[in-house]
Amino acid sequence: MRPYWILMAPALLVGCGQENDSIHAFISQVENQSRKEMAQLAPEKPYVATVYHATEQRSPFLLPKVALVANQPRTKQDCWQPGFRSKSGALEKFPLDKLRLRGVMGRENNISGLVQTPTGNVLKIQKGEYMGLNNGQVSEVSSQYIVVKETLPDGLGCWQQRSVKLALK
């Protein structure tokens, strides 16, 4: 049995001839297809340093005068300031643009609105209650909409009120 395997091993190895012609042809074909002309880049511009004269320009480590004036605390102006109150309403956790009026219920003199929160809960709200992040107080409830008066800071130490209407869709 052993002489049989000795004779068969060279016969099997002779059948494993190497033929790389198709591989070399494929590689050269891919290389020819991938070669393209490269666009020439614009010549590099030489760097020119700017000379800094401390007497003519401001120090780079200080804010400009305009920014310094804007950052100074303003004197207390005679303007309307809202009173402090704690936020305890369920609708005061959400901004007004995320709340949706889904319906109204009640009689002519006593109408309540049904407001849907972003979480999907529908809550009842009446005139005088608060909603929204900016101390918005419901000033009017009608069969088609709710009017909310928000209190917003103007950035200068004063406060402004604006009315926002949530309408049925």
Give the other-Cβ count within 10 Å of 125's Cβ: 22
Tokens, residue 147: 């009017």
Please identify, in words, the CATH class of the domain defined by 96-167: mainly beta
The long-range contacts involving 53-57, CB below 8 angstroms and separated by at least 24 positions, are none
Contact 85, 138 (CB under 8 A): no
Q: Are 121 and 135 in contact (CB under 8 A)?
A: no
| Residue 68 pLDDT | 58
- Helix, coil or strand: residue 159: strand
Going by C-alpha positions, the residue among 76, 60, 83 that lies closest to residue 137 is 83
Query: What is the residue-level pLDDT of the chain in tens, covering all 169 positions?
Result: 677 778 777 766 665 556 667 888 888 888 887 766 667 888 999 999 888 777 767 777 877 777 655 555 555 567 777 788 888 888 999 999 999 999 999 887 889 999 999 999 999 999 999 999 888 999 999 989 999 999 888 777 788 889 999 998 7
Three-class HEC string of 73-111: CCCCCCCCCCCCCCCCCHHHHCCHHHCEEEEEEECCCCE
Q: What is the largest CA-CA distance in the chain?
A: 115
